[in-house]
Structure 1
Amino acid sequence: MLATAERYLVILNTYGIHHRKSDTIEVTIDQLASAWYCTTRNAKMIVRRLIAEEMIEWQAGRGRGNRSHLVLLAERDDVLLACAQEFADRGEYKAAFEWLEQYGQHSPAKEKFVAWLSEHFGYGTEQKAGERETDVLRFPVNRSIVSLDPADLHLSFDAHMIRQLFDRLVQYDTASDKIVPCLAHAWKRNEDATEWTFHLRKGIRFHNGREVVSDDVRFTFERLRASKSHGWLMRELKEIVCEGPRSVRIRLNKPNKIFLRFTGYAAASILPRELVATDEERFWKQPVGSGPFRFVSWTEDRFEMIANTDYHLGRAHLDRVVIAFLPERETMTAALSADWTQQLNSYTLDPRLPQSGWKVVERLCGGCMLLTWNAAKSGPQRSQAFRTAMARIIDRASLVREFGEKRFHPASGFHSENSPALDEADELPGVEERLLAEAHYDGEPLTLATFSNNAHEAEWIQRRCERFGVRVNLNFVRLEEIKDERMHANADCILCNVTMAEDEVCEIENYEQANNFLKAHLPLDVQEWIHQQIDSLLACEDHTARRAYLANIEMRLRLEQHVLFLWHKKISTYVHPDVKGARLNALGWMDFKQIWLNVSASL
């Protein structure tokens, strides 16, 4: 239908006809051929197809060159909507929006399509002819997956997806607050935590059927050590020795009492050695893990995976998960006319319930939004007086009040439990101006880099700074640029969310990851001091003592204004009452493995 429909819409656009049915156009075959950029012979074939599909009636003119009468039978909006739905049914969501943009400007078809998508997405049971019923979760996001390579992990959404496809040696259980077995069923360490031995379960298989063995662990960790993004997880690695197919011994140069947590981090997910080593480029287009879901396809428009029916920790209840990548601007437009809150993840709490009976699932997001100051680049941000002035100018309490208490909580550090409600900034006149003068600020503009989904907050900061004569230029960067060292170097400051999914390890990552934007903006002497603090931390057995080291680092960043902590986010989503097991994890997403559908009810 799409090819014929496009020819029909070209006619409407060429003659400026928007929606009226039964309009008649006087036209020649030559004119149609010109509009369709084809020969007259092909134009006649297209006319016959349009007639066959009952989109037009055709009354041929008598004699060569005489005008014929073309009667329009199909409503413009109906054609637009049907074609957009056909694109969506094929999983080509971006193409659907591009189609509506190209042929349906000022048409209500876009709003109708958005409303239809709200029904298209969600949880449901599907059945194809001759096949059994399958429980399917289909939902939209306005971000794409940047990387599924654990060693190149930078974004929380990517981390969540990696956890669906791959396994780690161990994993963190939030309910018990303990490390529990995963690929490894047992482990031990020597007294000073410089030697760790892991014993793998028997019979755990990658999705291609090959058993997971110790050589996969050795290969993964040695590859990780060479990674610029997550080599820090293997800091002080001395050697890895395979002791048979299911035991691996890891020796470190220095003590690491929480190395067990390191091996449970998403970036330490275990890979099949021969597949990655043979053709790494191909592997990441069709990744093979041992996790609860198997990869099916990954295109510009969607990501699809199915349940690993042989998963060693129990099969997922869902049979299939389809994630649609929608253009961000279209998703924002869609929010005006549809309840996108049916999707699994939302960083805003919309007070409207999609339907009666739906429940709200929410939690305070681990970590916070913050602003870094680039100490390696010349500019006013290198002055502590200037940074102190900016901490007063960017009043978090005012921002929270403007954006809503339900959405944000002011931050004075990484963790919400350590961030009491901030009072309004004191009204001592001229303090900001005095600090700016002390910094010798002369109106030089600052470049603030951030993602487009932070546009509203960045623009608020820009307007706020203008009131005090501080000029801020906004640079909206792509998600994949979060690790781009050129972007880090060119920005005077970066506004970004730092997610703390697993407490100590996540916090250490911000200071140790080689191409982390927060680390990149810290002064070199501060980086070196932090590295020494972390060495001492890793040698500590006591959790309270380790937290004291991290709190000490955070305090220095705050007191010297190297980082401006801004706000904590509340993450929330709505869930249909017949969907069970839906809980938001620390990454802000639901564990797909635990979700199940009440098959006795109709979704």
Structure 2
Amino acid sequence: MKYFDYLIKLTEHFKPGVGNETTIFDISELLTCSERHVKTIVQYLNDEGYIKWKVQRGRGKKPTITIIYSKEQLCLNYAKQKIQQGQYQQAFRIVESLGDSSRTDIQEWFIKHVGFSRLQQRNKAGENLDILTYPFYETDLSMDPLHIQSRHDSHMVQQIFDRLVEYDPNTCQLMPSIAHSWESVDGKLWTFYLHKGIKFHHGRALTSEDVKLTFSRYPKEDILMTNMEWIEIIDKDVIQFQLKNVDYLFPRHLSGMRFSIVPLEVVKNDHENFRRFPIGSGPYKITQHNENNIRLELFAKYFGVRPWLDRIEIIKTPTPFKGEEGLPLLLHSLDESWEQVKMLEKGATFIAFNCKKNGPLRDQDFREVISSSLNQQDYLVEKESRRAACSFVTDRSIENSVTGVKNCSMISDTEIILKIGVQQIRDGVNFEEEAKTLQKQLLKVNITSHIELVDFHRFSGYEEFQDFDLFVGGIALADDQLLSVITALQSQVINIYHFLNEPMRQYVDRQVSYIKQLTDETARWKTYFQTEDYLKGNYAIYFLYHRYHTVYKSKNSRYVNLELDSNGRVDYRKVWKRTGQLGNPT
């Protein structure tokens, strides 16, 4: 890097492409180093072809230096060199100083260096390594399952850890994972039978004791733990859970990423290191995690089905480094056969009303007036990316037409001041725009309001919510949508339950408890929608919109299950490549 810095200084001082008279002394003054060192620098740059150094014969004649490349060309080539060396952050910092033309140049060049490759270096089995390399914008990943904060965290946890069971969104059925079987006669006592011979990434065998210790991490106020009577190890591969109340959804809870099984001694030894270099029992393990990239490699002793991909290299890339063609440089198919598809997200943006706090919102009539004054269309300004919502469940919003908004007269002659909380997932990713729209609508009915961002990474609990009169947020549903929505209703983090008054809480608790006692999925959904309608009817919640996402799917590609979701994520476990002539898969 030092020679490059010297070269840049020379390009800034001497005009490129022409001979410039100078001396070793003059250059030493420019570069602020000794004349002896300048001779080394000049010799190196001349040998590498960056400059031409010519000593002229004759008394009083000075040497000439010719700078071969412009500063822009040097930065561009140096950035490419650093990318090839894996020093991505250094390269991206250089790219930031380039003009638009050079940025486009390096983006197009960069695309050709990501995607799929086959490394001729063989693994222990004598096979070549199949590698996926792709850029993704930097996130503060927390790969401790207990502290998942985002979809990005959840996606990584899915690759690194296993859970007792897996939920299949295509069949809506639970599938075996760490547990090969489970059973219950009464919905309260559940027995899980574990596969034998499962290993953690650090080599130790996974047993039922690890399952019990994993659950010991969860706080007592956790929704699942409040219903836990006891957990007992029957054998090293058999464990039982005794619940206080009937819950036929209990196994489905255990398919959630938060309930991934961990080796507790590793977590306790160095939790911060575990957050960056987690130890699980999943098909991939983290072998590199620094400012430049994250590397996942195949766990050779994985007990389940071996994935086709041997290694995944995720390059931490600044957001401005995305291309303009829509495909966000998160992955680029070698055959460029991509199909763009617009999909509605599972989940919705909403406004929650604090029905518990002392003040005007305790009055249902007041909440009704506010709700009636809201114009849902104002939140749909980006119509191509948003659709009006009447539920957390997208399909229900599609089935039921969302009505317009009633205009409301002034609420009071006396100014009312409310406090609006805004959910923030990370810096720059929040619902502040929606809160400002709400603020403008409230002003029309003589209500003044103040907005405050709530950083969920620093969220410490229930008390933080109680000062807010209104809260603007959103939830994304997991594959098991039913479990997601009923969990959201009672969540300690999602601000709905905290705002409910006591009769409302009791109603929600009874409904959720009843859902868990049911064994028919249709009856469960019917009960949930009754609960949602109750909250809307009592003006405790107001739904705003569902978001459209543009996703990319490989069309007629050799790479199977190669699909980018709205976050640019691919389930690495399922990707594989066809060989020979393409045909219809069976």
Shared fold (TM-score greater than 0.5)? yes
The equivalent of 1:325 in structure 2 is 316
* Matched-pair contact (CA < 8 Å) for 2:553–2:564: no
Question: Tell me, what secondary structure is at the counterpart of 2:548?
Answer: strand
| Contact 2:423-2:455 at 8 Å conserved across structures | no
Question: Judging changes above 3 Å, is the alpha-carbon distance between structure 1 residues 452 and 182 closer, same or farther for their aligned structure 2 residues?
Answer: closer
Q: Distance in 2 between matches of 1:326 and 1:9?
A: 25
Residue 486 (structure 2) pairs with residue 508 (structure 1): yes
From 243, 255, 261, the counterpart of 2:252: 261
Local SS of the residue matching 1:8: helix
TM-score, reference length from structure 2: 0.83
Question: 1:196 maps to which residue?
Answer: 190
* Aligned residue in 1 for 2:106: 113
On the 8 A contact 1:317/1:593 being kept in 2, the answer is yes
Q: Is the 8 A contact 2:116 2:334 kept in 1?
A: no
Offset of residue 579 of structure 1: 1.6
- Are 2:351 and 2:471, in contact at CA under 8 Å, matched by a contact in 1? yes
**Cα separation, 1, equivalents of 2:21 and 2:304:** 69
Structure 1 position 302 matched with structure 2 position 327: no
Which consecutive unaligned segments of at least 5 residues does structure 1 have? Answer: 346-352
Contact 1:304–1:320 (CA<8 Å) still a contact in 2?
yes
- Give the Cα separation in 1 of the matches to 2:527 and 2:342: 31
RMSD, matched Cα: 4.1
Give the deviation of 1:68 after TM superposition: 6.3
Q: TM-score, normalised by structure 1?
A: 0.81
Other-structure match for 1:210: 204
Q: 1:335 aligns with which of 290, 301, 323?
A: 323
Shift of 1:218: 0.7
User: What is the distance in 1 between the residues matched to 2:9 and 2:449?
Assistant: 45
CA distance in structure 2 between the partners assigned to 1:141 and 1:449 by the alignment: 24
Instruction: Tell me what 2:558 maps to.
Output: 578
For residues 463 and 24 of structure 2, the distance between their equivalents in structure 1, rounded to whole angstroms, comes to 56
Superposition map of 1:381-396 within 5 A? 395-396=375-376
Structure 1 position 244, deviation (Å): 1.5
Q: Are residue 72 (structure 1) and residue 67 (structure 2) matched?
A: yes
Higher fraction of helix: 1
Q: Structure 2 vs 1, CA of residues 212 and 581 (structure 1 numbering), >3 Å: closer, same or farther?
A: same
Which stretch shifts more, 479-488 or 179-188? 479-488
* Correspondences of 1:379-458 after superposition (within 5 Å): 395-397=375-377, 399-400=379-380, 402-405=381-384, 407-420=385-398, 422=401, 425=404, 431-432=407-408, 434=409, 436-438=410-412, 441=415, 448-450=422-424, 458=432
Q: Is the 8 A contact 1:154 1:482 kept in 2?
A: no
Cα distance in 2 between the residues matched to 1:486 and 1:139: 41
Change (3 A) 1:437 1:390: closer
In structure 2, distance between residues paired with 1:71 and 1:481: 56
* Structure-2 change in CA distance of 1:318 and 1:205 (3 Å): same
CA contact under 8 A between 2:189 and 2:243: conserved in structure 1? yes
Amino acid at match of 2:457: E
Q: How does 1:108-507 map to 2 (within 5 A)?
A: 108-128=101-121, 132-191=127-186, 193-225=187-219, 231-328=222-319, 330-331=320-321, 334-336=322-324, 338-341=325-328, 343=330, 357-360=337-340, 363-373=343-353, 395-397=375-377, 399-400=379-380, 402-405=381-384, 407-420=385-398, 422=401, 425=404, 431-432=407-408, 434=409, 436-438=410-412, 441=415, 448-450=422-424, 458-459=432-433, 462=436, 466=440, 469=443, 480-481=457-458, 493-507=471-485
1:22-37 equivalence runs, <5 A? 22-24=17-19, 32=27, 36=31
Superposed displacement of residue 388, structure 1: 5.5
Offset at residue 306 of structure 1 (A): 1.7
Cα distance in structure 2, aligned partners of 1:549 and 1:342 = 43
Q: In structure 1, what is the Cα distance between the partners aligned to 2:540 and 2:73? A: 56
Residue by residue over 1:567-588, the C-alpha shift from the partner in whole angstroms, topping out at 9 and shown as x without a partner, is 2233312436222123578998
Change (3 A) 1:295 1:497: same
Shift of 1:22: 0.7
Instruction: Provide, for residues 205-243 of structure 1, a one-character-per-residue CA deviation record: whole Å limited to 9, x for no partner.
Output: 2222322211111111111245x7xx3232221221111
**Structure 2 partner of 1:7:** 6
- 1-structure distance, mates of 2:264, 2:439: 52
The separation in 2 between residues aligned to 1:175 and 1:164, in whole angstroms, is 19
Cα distance 1:134–1:362, how it changes in 2: closer, same or farther (>3 A)? Answer: farther
Measured after TM superposition, the shift of residue 372 of structure 1 is 3.8
Determine the C-alpha separation between the residues in 2 that align with 1:99 and 1:151: 38
Change (3 A) 1:129 1:152: closer
The one-letter amino acid paired with 1:274 is E
